[in-house]
A and B are shown apart, each in its own frame.
Chain A
């Protein structure tokens, strides 16, 4: 028997199935965490925002009308929570998130550490809207049109935010250099 779809699980949750929402959350919470922590650059804030988003989704399940996919709907809640948090706190004195990716599999360990730490820090330098777009498109690999749906902006706006963000990141990371003029 095939696994229930996201929409099936949400419908089951609305119908009173006590485990359906948990199954739905299990599908997405790792990715939601990834988006939140890359966007907010602060683990505690990211954990708070994921929690807010999950609870909000739990409460708002009855308002889901199916215009967007459940994945899009869920991540829209998360991203809005992230943007709200960035606007409220404008946190610049963040604690860099410690990288815990398995680097031992990579041959260039030392360079990898340097590159990735600076990449995470560089991401934190982007304006909120650019950062969210870059995280969703370039880090998470989402299609641009779905990101546009999540952010409720035109596709061109997502591309533009990504383009501006990549230029800034490229400069911060040293990939766009003076001598390339």
Chain B
């Protein structure tokens, strides 16, 4: 629809649309030279060209607003869930925006820049970092020492994990961490239900013979 004032801005012989075509580089060189020369003689046409230039300039100054932290966390969680999905599901993956995402949003402030941060060999300190954020961040890493052995890991989980964490839960990732000043091993475990993950932190040495549970959280539960 055309606004009345928009139409009113057009000089009779040099319509605004023609001037806008000139301004946008749409006219062939000969026609452009013709229109440009005519516009130079017409104050109204010159004003239209100036108005278009002002419009472009203002658009160019419109900076991108910063990404809100909760949205950044949501996107990271969706990608993390996407990466984990083939391990949990045997059928076509679909867009994930369930409780997993909601849980990750809670960690928004701590998450930004963490989920995809390059890894180093040193244990990650979790002090001051939300456990959910840390748990999602280890997805795909399997630096869990002896607990990489499924039998040992199952024995450990059977010994120390809270109810609801099956000993044979699928390991999605893990790494050495420091939690509350104590060394630990963080395990990100799939529950087998879309959008539900467990994060379990155990002390090193955990196995069938027993161990110490340092922390546990369920995402999407």
Residues of A whose CB lies within 8 Å of any CB of B are: 18-19, 21-23, 25-26, 29-31, 33-34, 37-38, 43, 47, 50-52, 54-55, 58-59, 97, 99-101, 115-116, 119-120, 134, 138-139, 141, 144, 156, 159-160, 162-164, 166-173, 175-178, 180-181
Contact = CB atoms under 8 A, between A and B. Distances in A.
Most buried by A among B3, B8, B62, B76: B62
Contact of B20 (A141, A166, A181): A166
Given A34-B65, A141-B60, A180-B44, A51 B55 contact: no
Interface in B60-107: 60, 62-68, 71-72, 74-76, 78-79, 82-83, 93, 95-97
Nearest to B56: A138
Contact of B71 (A47, A156, A180): A47
Interface string B15-48: 0110011011110000000000000000010011
A175 B95 CA distance: 44
Contacts of B78: 51, 54-55
A52 B52 contact: no
Contact of A180 (B48, B63, B65): B48
B135 to A, nearest CB: 15
B59 A169 contact: yes
Contacts, number: 163
Contacts of A115: 58
Interface in B181-211: none
Contact of A167 (B20, B44, B83, B139): B20
A174 B195 CA distance: 50
Given A54-B78, A138-B56, A163-B23, A176 B65 contact: no
B159 to A, nearest CB: 29
A96 to B, nearest CB: 12
Contact of B79 (A30, A58, A162): A58
B37 to A, nearest CB: 19
Given A156-B26, A181-B44, 6 more contacts: A50-B75, A54-B78, A55-B79, A166-B56, A175-B54, A176-B6
Contacts of A141: 60
Contacts of B44: 180-181
A50 to B, nearest CB: 6
B66 A30 contact: yes
Interface residues of B, number: 55
21 contacts: A22-B76, A23-B116, A29-B67, A38-B64, A43-B71, A47-B75, A52-B95, A55-B96, A97-B65, A100-B66, A163-B26, A166-B56, A167-B16, A170-B16, A171-B6, A172-B3, A173-B55, A175-B51, A176-B6, A176-B51, A181-B9
Contact of B9 (A21, A43, A177): A177
Contacts of A30: 64, 66-67
Contacts of B95: 51-52, 55
A169 B50 CA distance: 13
A37 B65 contact: yes
Nearest to A162: B24
Contact of A175 (B55, B76, B82, B93): B55
A142 B16 CA distance: 24
A38 B60 CA distance: 12
Contact of A19 (B55, B68, B116): B116
Given A34-B65, A101-B65, A170 B26 contact: no
